[in-house]
Amino acid sequence: MDAAFLTGQVFNGFSVASIYILAALGLALSFGLMRVINMAHGEILMVGSYLAYLTILFIPGPLGIFAAMLVAFIGAGLLGAGLEAALVSKLTARPLDTLLATWGVSLILQQGARDVFGATGVSVTAPAWLDGAITIGALPLPAARLFIMAVAVAVLGGLALFLRMTRVGLLVRAVNQDRATASAMGVNVRQVDAFIFGLGAGVAGIGGVVLALLGPVTPNVGQSYIVTAFLVVVLGGLGSMIGTTIAAVMIGLVMALAQIFVDVSFAQVLTLLFVVLFLQFRPQGVIAIRSRALDAE
């Protein structure tokens, strides 16, 4: 095994990790607030991909991809907020039932996409400036993958700034730390929930645009990433952004490095094994909030 191959795999690991970050951030944020997981999150990625396809049909050219991101962010965000208002908010305090109800939504969205766009999938033409590769040493790094990493870093930075610097961010952090106290202080907890759910869905929409650069957009495109994104949330620990990022990088690297020795399916086995073993040492994930409160269960 030569060094170039190893660095190539590490690069792949980070590149996959950045997709998981985009897919898992929204899940982690609303899990931190509401302790619920949206099983339809993968289909929100899918909606983002289809919105990218539609936008680039109307706005071709080198900058179409940025317009697509904006459209996907807003479209997916509205879809998420609608889902929260119509279904998820009715089921708070019943996290397992939320899993099942949102799974139902995901089935409906998948079949809807199949009826509207067809089962075979459509492809998004990436702008020309994403076609090439940048060669560092002997290692060609595909521009599209570098772009995905840049998008993930930009989204992380933007979210961190938003949560740290704005008044809405302050409210979000307050509800995240102590829901009851925040509510007692007059924070409209329900609005914060809906806002974060929408914001997380918007981020997933951007993730969907990025997925559209990598392959054809099919009704199942979200499903292929979402189960691993769920694992990232579990590994990251109670809705922490830093935890989610670290967990995504760990899972991406374990998966990419395992593929040096075994095939893709065994790499998945090893990744799951890694998660189960990691939780033996840190059952609450990478970032655990220490408190004297009892476990929620």
Partner 1 sequence: MLNLPFKTIGGGAALLLAILAPWLLSAYDLNLLGRFLALSLSAMGLVLLWGEGGILSLGQGVFFGLGGYLLAMHLKLDGLGAGELPDFMTWSGVTALPWWWAPFRNPLVTILGVLLVPAAIGAGFSWLMFRRRIGGVYFALITQALALVFATLLISQQGTTGGFNGLTDYHNLMGLNLNDEGVTRGIYWLTLALVATAYFALRWLLSSRFGKLLRASRDGSNRLRFLGYDPTPYKVVAFSVAAVLTGVSGAMFTLHAGVVSPALVGVVPSIEMVIWVAIGGRTYLVGGIVGALLVNFAKDKISTALPELWLYALGLLFILAVTAFPRGIVGEFEGERRFKPARLGDMFARWRAGRATS
Query: Which residues of this protein are in contact with partner 1, per CB under 8 A?
Result: 31, 35-37, 87, 90-91, 94-101, 103-108, 110-111, 114-115, 223, 227-228, 230-231, 233-234, 263-266, 268-269, 272, 275-276, 279-280, 283, 294-297
Q: How far is the CB of 139 from partner 1 (least distance, A)?
A: 28
Tokens of 12: 């792949």
Cβ 269 to partner 1, closest distance in Å?
5
Indicate the helix (H) or strand (E) that contains 133.
Answer: strand 133-136
Token code pair at residue 278: 């990691």
- Nearest approach in angstroms of CB 286 to partner 1 is 13
Between 65 and 251, CB nearer to partner 1: 251
Which one, 96 or 161, has the nearer CB to partner 1?
96
First and final C-alpha spacing in the chain: 47
> Residue 5: CB partners within 8 Å, gap ≥ 6?
260
Residue 135: enclosing H or E segment and its boundaries?
Answer: strand 133-136
Instruction: Tell me how far, at minimum, the Cβ of 76 lies from partner 1, in Å.
Output: 19
Residue that has been written with the tokens 């009892």 in this structure: 294
Lookup: tokens for 61: 């050219």
H/E element, 140: strand 139-142
Residue 80 CB, shortest distance to partner 1, in Å, is 16
- List the structure tokens of 276: 């189960």
Query: Which residue lies nearer to partner 1 by CB, 41 or 145?
Result: 41
What phi, psi does 122 have (nearest 5°)? -120, 160
Tell the burial category of 74 from Cβ atoms under 10 Å away from its Cβ (0-12, 13-18, 19+).
middle
Q: Among residues 67 and 87, whose Cβ is nearest to partner 1? A: 87
Residue 27 or 69: the one with the smaller Cβ distance to partner 1 is 27
Nearer to partner 1, 1 or 277 (CB): 277
Q: How many other C-beta atoms lie within 10 A of the C-beta of residue 121?
A: 16
In the complex with partner 1, which residue's Cβ is closer, 35 or 190?
35
| β-pair partners for 134 | 141
The CB-of-125 to partner 1 minimum distance in angstroms stands at 29
214: burial class by Cβ within 10 Å (0-12, 13-18, 19+)?
middle
